């Protein structure tokens, strides 16, 4: 119940009371009027001060009221608004969409974000985003309040952006390079599909949303990550990388990458990759040819050096063979002149064996020339038989010398698998002959021992040849196995023979060195140590 009704219910007893009631009613009406005017003032102030266009229409679209922003934009005076229907200003809209929105407003539905193009009385066109709110009472539309925001600049920017994107895509798809855009997780957001299909076979569906590293050769990923750190610090970074194609093969590309930020401030990576696969293949082929040339030159020089070795080997050893033959023939001549037949047969046997040795030497020289071009086979050798055969040979050759050779085969396996070749016999001969040649003692003593040793995890057969010869000074030991050094051991020169021995052993990872037979005194003779790899 209102204040007026309360007053009316009071029992009126006299005129004075009636005057008081009348006065009270006037005060209430005055206050209501003041409140209404204040409210209307506030509404009008906000209405006209709004930067957005506000206009009020009736059910049929006739304008009832507008704010100052509407008048400034449309150019119609307030006194003329009662002659205008709002549809007079709409242009370029889809009639069906416009009619649909009008009908929904008339049905009391609020419309938000409706975009429309309108013109002012000067014919200038504008783009608006309109929110419409129908005001109802008792199921009847009293008015429609419309708030419109000018989006002309935004629509123009969008149009230019679409045009720019269209031009960018046209250029991108017409390029010969791979153009990609990645997000801050390095996932592909854009690729120029036409070029990707041509160079790598991928479509957008194959790549968009995928991590870029997936398409990079595993061996190149670490380098790409390092390059990524560089270009994230600013500037453009260039690097070469192999991309995996859809068929599985890898192709070389030169990549330039740069960081940028889009209109929302989000970090992106622009990558442009140029196909350099043909160039890289040509470079690889050129390098291979260079390597082949260098290898051929090295091989030629090696063969040239080998020829010198083989010449010296042949000259050195064939001279020994011929010397024995000459000595034997001299003995034979003496015996024949003395008409002594005793021993003649033995001398002839020696000559025949030397001839056999010469033939074997020729064969070994050819074998040696192929050492570095063929694999060394694994052989099962009866080492004791080899040792005894060499001992028998050198004793007959130097039968005029008092030679005592002791071999301790009990310490050596009768049969053993070794990484060696037929020249092992020549090595043993060489060691024994030199032990006799460089020995001035009345009795030449040579002791051969064998044992198994493990060096750096490799099993070796160790054979030692100890003699009581003239020995080798410590300062000359390091020159014993150098080729062409004829003064490295005693008079007559042993260096050449031992250089060949070392070369043969090197060819199948064997080892040889020389020590003093008596520690600290080289004059007591030498100990040549030979290592041959044992194979399980």
Selected residue with higher pLDDT from 506 and 370: 506
Q: What is the pLDDT of residues 193-230, one digit of tens each?
A: 889 999 999 999 999 999 999 999 999 998 888 888 87
Please state which of the ranges 22-26, 428-432, 520-524 shows the lowest mean pLDDT: 22-26
Please state which of the ranges 111-120, 284-293, 402-411 shows the lowest mean pLDDT: 402-411
To the nearest whole percent, how much of the chain has pLDDT over 90? 19
Alpha helices by DSSP H, listed for 370-487, are 383-397, 424-437, 474-477
Structure tokens at 357: 């040795």
Q: What is the pLDDT of residues 280-296, one digit of tens each?
A: 888 888 888 888 888 87
Domain spans of the chain, in order of start: 3-151, 156-275, 279-374, 375-536
Region 156-275: CATH code = 3.30.450.20
CA 351 to each of CA 93, 126, 189, 323, 391: distance values in angstroms, whole numbers, following the listed order:
123, 123, 91, 11, 17
pLDDT of residue 488: 46
Residue 297's pLDDT band (cuts 50, 70, 90): confident
- Please tell me the distance from the alpha carbon of residue 159 to that of residue 308, in angstroms, as a whole number: 85
Q: Does residue 368 register a pLDDT over 60?
A: no
Residue 78's pLDDT band (cuts 50, 70, 90): confident
Q: How many CB atoms lie within 10 A of CB 219?
A: 10
Residue 113's pLDDT band (cuts 50, 70, 90): confident
Average pLDDT over every residue of 467-496: 68
**Superfamily of domain 3-151 in the CATH hierarchy:** PAS domain (3.30.450.20)
- Indicate the CATH number of 375-536 among 3.30.70.940, 3.30.565.10, 1.20.58.1610, 3.90.1150.10: 3.30.565.10
Q: What is the pLDDT of residues 230-255, one digit of tens each?
A: 778 776 678 899 999 999 999 999 99
Residue 471's pLDDT band (cuts 50, 70, 90): very high
Q: Does residue 44 register a pLDDT over 70?
A: no
Helix (H, G, I), strand (E, B) or coil at 519: coil
Contact 469, 494 (CB under 8 A): no
- Please tell me the distance from the alpha carbon of residue 337 to that of residue 117, in angstroms, as a whole number: 140
Residue 490's pLDDT band (cuts 50, 70, 90): very low
Q: Does residue 302 register a pLDDT over 80?
A: no
Residue 509's pLDDT band (cuts 50, 70, 90): confident
Q: Does residue 443 register a pLDDT over 80?
A: yes
DSSP 534: B
Q: What is the mean pLDDT of the chain?
A: 79
Residue 345's pLDDT band (cuts 50, 70, 90): low
Fold agreement (156-275, 375-536) = no
Q: How many CB atoms lie within 10 A of CB 314?
A: 15
pLDDT of residue 17: 72
pLDDT of residue 29: 64
Selected residue with higher pLDDT from 296 and 521: 521
Q: Strand 402-407 vs strand 443-455: parallel, antiparallel, or unpaired?
A: parallel
DSSP 18: H
Cα dihedral: 398, 401, 402, 407 (round 10): -30
Q: Does residue 166 register a pLDDT over 80?
A: no
Phi first, then psi, for residue 524 (nearest 5°) are: -90, 5
pTM over 0.75: no
pLDDT of residue 347: 67
Residue 167's pLDDT band (cuts 50, 70, 90): low
- According to the per-residue pLDDT averaged within each range, which of 14-18, 172-176, 187-191 is highest? 187-191
Contact 479, 495 (CB under 8 A): yes
pLDDT of residue 480: 86
pLDDT of residue 75: 86
Nearest to 273 by CA among 196, 164, 189, 170: 196
When computed from its CA atoms, the radius of gyration of the chain, rounded to whole angstroms, is 56
Q: For the chain, what percentages of helix, strand and coil (3-state, to nearest 5) are there?
A: 50, 25, 25
Q: Does residue 445 register a pLDDT over 60?
A: yes
Selected residue with higher pLDDT from 448 and 317: 448
Average pLDDT over every residue of 470-484: 83
Q: Does residue 512 register a pLDDT over 50?
A: yes
Average pLDDT over every residue of 39-68: 79
Average pLDDT over every residue of 285-308: 78
Structure tokens at 302: 């090696």
Residue 187's pLDDT band (cuts 50, 70, 90): very high
- Please tell me the distance from the alpha carbon of residue 117 to that of residue 204, in angstroms, as a whole number: 36
DSSP 85: B
Selected residue with higher pLDDT from 130 and 422: 130
pLDDT of residue 494: 37
Phi first, then psi, for residue 381 (nearest 5°) are: -110, 140
Selected residue with higher pLDDT from 62 and 504: 62
């Amino acid at each position: 119940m209102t204040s007026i009704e309360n007053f009316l219910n009071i029992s009126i007893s006299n005129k004075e009371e009636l005057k008081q009631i009348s006065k009270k009613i006037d005060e209430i009406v005055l206050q209501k009027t003041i409140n209404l005017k204040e409210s209307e003032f506030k509404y009008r102030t906000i209405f006209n001060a709004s930067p957005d266009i506000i206009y009020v229409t009736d059910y049929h679209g006739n304008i009832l009221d507008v704010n100052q922003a509407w008048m400034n934009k449309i150019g119609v005076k307030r006194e003329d608004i009662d002659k205008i229907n709002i549809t007079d200003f709409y242009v370029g809209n889809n009639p069906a969409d416009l009619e649909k929105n009008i009908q929904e407003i008339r049905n009391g539905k609020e419309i938000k974000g409706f975009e429309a193009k309108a013109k002012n009385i000067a014919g200038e066109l504008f783009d608006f985003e309109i929110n419409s709110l129908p005001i109802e009472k008792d199921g009847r539309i009293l008015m429609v309040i419309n708030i419109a925001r000018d989006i002309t600049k935004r629509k123009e920017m969008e149009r230019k952006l679409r045009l720019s994107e269209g031009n960018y895509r046209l250029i991108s798809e017409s390029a010969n390079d791979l153009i990609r855009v990645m997000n801050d997780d390095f996932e592909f957001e854009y690729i120029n599909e036409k070029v990707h299909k041509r160079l790598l076979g991928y479509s957008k569906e194959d790549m968009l949303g995928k991590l870029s590293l997936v398409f990079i050769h595993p061996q190149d990923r670490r380098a790409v990550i390092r390059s990524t750190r560089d270009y994230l610090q600013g500037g453009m970074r260039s690097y070469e990388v192999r991309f995996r194609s859809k068929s599985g093969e890898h192709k070389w590309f030169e990549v330039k990458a740069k960081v940028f930020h889009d209109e929302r401030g989000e970090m992106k990576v622009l990558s442009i990759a140029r196909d350099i696969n043909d160039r890289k293949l040509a470079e690889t082929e050129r390098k291979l040819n260079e390597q082949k040339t260098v290898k051929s030159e090295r091989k030629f020089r090696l063969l040239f050096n080998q020829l010198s070795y083989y010449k010296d080997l042949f000259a050195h050893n064939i001279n020994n063979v011929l010397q024995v033959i000459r000595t034997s023939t001299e003995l034979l001549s003496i015996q024949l002149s003395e008409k002594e037949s005793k021993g003649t047969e033995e001398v002839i046997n020696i000559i025949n064996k030397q001839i056999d040795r010469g033939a074997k030497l020729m064969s070994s020289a050819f074998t040696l020339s192929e050492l570095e071009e063929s694999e060394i086979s694994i052989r099962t050798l009866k080492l004791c038989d080899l040792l005894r055969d060499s001992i028998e040979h050198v004793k007959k050759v130097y039968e005029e010398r008092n030679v005592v050779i002791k071999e301790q085969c009990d310490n050596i396996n009768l049969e053993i698998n070794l990484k060696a070749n037929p020249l092992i016999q020549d090595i043993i001969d060489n060691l024994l002959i030199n032990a006799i040649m460089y020995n001035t003692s009345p009795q030449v003593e040579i002791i051969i021992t064998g044992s198994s040793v493990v060096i750096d995890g490799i099993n070796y057969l160790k054979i030692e040849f100890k003699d009581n010869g003239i020995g080798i000074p410590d300062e000359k030991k390091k020159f014993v196995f150098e080729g062409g050094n004829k003064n490295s051991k005693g008079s007559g020169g042993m260096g050449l023979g031992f250089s060949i021995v070392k070369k043969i052993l090197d060819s199948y990872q064997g080892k040889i060195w020389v020590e003093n037979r008596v520690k600290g005194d080289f004059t007591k003779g030498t100990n040549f140590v030979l290592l041959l790899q044992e194979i399980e």
